[in-house]
Amino acid sequence: MSTLVHLGLGAFHRAHQVWYTHVADPDWNYVSFTGRSARMSDLLTAQGNKYTLVTRSKDGDSFELIDTITETHPASNVERLTELMASPDVKVVTLTITEAGYDDTSDNSAPRRLATGLAARQRASAGPIAIMSCDNVSGNGAKCKAAVYAVADADLRAWMDDNVTFPTTSIDRITPATTDELIELVEKETGFADKAPVVTEPFASWVIEGEFPAGRPAWENAGVEFVNDIEPFEHRKLWLLNGSHSLMAYYGQLKGHETVADAIADPAVREKVENLWNEAAQGLPMDVTDYRASLIERFENPNIRHNLAQIAIDGATKQMNRAVPIYGIAHGPGAAWSIAAWIVYCLSTDEIKDTRAEEIAAAKQDSDPVQALCGVLGIDADDQIRATVKEIRSA
**Segment contacting ligand CS2 by CB under 6 A, of 85-93, 137-145, 166-174, 179-187:** 166-174
Nearer to ligand CS2, 84 or 174 (CB): 174
Question: Using CB under 6 A, which residues numbered 177 to 196 contact ligand CS2?
Answer: none
Could you say whether residue 236 binds ligand CS2 (CB under 6 A)?
no
Interface region with ligand CS2, contact rule CB under 6 A, candidates 62-70, 142-150, 169-177, 265-273: 169-177
Amino acid (one-letter) located at 286: M
DSSP character at residue 353:
-
Name the segment binding ligand CS2 (CB under 6 A); options: 121-129, 140-148, 237-245, 335-343: 237-245
| Contact pattern for ligand CS2 over residues 81 through 110, marking x by CB under 6 A | ------------------------------
> Rounded to 5 degrees, what angle do the CA atoms 340, 341, 345 make?
115
Q: Binders of ligand CS2 among 281-310, rule CB under 6 A?
A: 310
Say whether residue 138 binds ligand CS2 (CB under 6 A): no
Q: 102 — phi, psi (to 5°)? A: -80, -15
CB nearer ligand CS2, residue 129 or residue 134:
134
Give least dist CB 215 to ligand CS2, A: 26
**Region label for 191, one of left (φ > 0), alpha (ψ between -120 and 50) or beta (otherwise):** left
DSSP classification of residue 31? E
DSSP states of 44-97 as a string?
Answer: HHHTTT-EEEEEEETTEEEEEEE--EEEEE-TT-HHHHHHHHTSTTEEEEEE--
Element (H, E) at 17: helix 17-24
Q: How many residues bind ligand CS2 (CB under 6 A)?
A: 10
Stretch that binds ligand CS2, among 215-223, 239-247, 267-275, 360-368 (CB under 6 A): 239-247
**Is 197:176 a contact under the CB 8 Å cutoff?**
no
Q: Report the nearest approach of ligand CS2 to the CB of residue 288 (Å).
A: 16
3 state SS of 282: coil
- Alpha carbons within 13 angstroms on the beta-carbon side of residue 314 total 16
Stretch that binds ligand CS2, among 18-26, 104-112, 168-176, 182-190 (CB under 6 A): 168-176
Q: Which stretch binds ligand CS2 (CB under 6 A): 36-44, 189-197, 238-246, 386-394?
A: 238-246
Distance CA 46, CA 217 (A): 27
Binder of ligand CS2 out of 71, 135, 172, 279 (CB under 6 A): 172
318 binds ligand CS2 (CB under 6 A): yes
The verdict on 173 binding ligand CS2 (CB under 6 A) reads yes
Q: Is 275 left (phi over 0), alpha (psi -120 to 50) or beta?
A: alpha
Helix 333-348, helix 383-394: angle, nearest 10: 60
Minimum gap (Å) between residue 310 Cβ and ligand CS2: 6
Residue placing its CB nearer to ligand CS2 in the complex, 71 or 172? 172
Task: Output 12 or 327, the one with its CB closest to ligand CS2.
Answer: 12
- Find the shortest distance in angstroms from Cβ 27 to ligand CS2: 27
Q: Provide φ and ψ at 75, rounded to 5°.
A: -55, -30
Alpha-carbon gap, residue 281 to 342, rounded angstroms:
22
6 is an interface residue for ligand CS2 by CB under 6 A: no
Write down the number of H helices and E strands in the chain: 21, 12
Considering only residues 242, 253, 338, 388, which one is a binding residue for ligand CS2 as defined by CB under 6 A?
Answer: 242
- Chain residues that interact with ligand CS2, rule: CB under 6 A: 136, 172-174, 241-242, 245, 310-311, 318
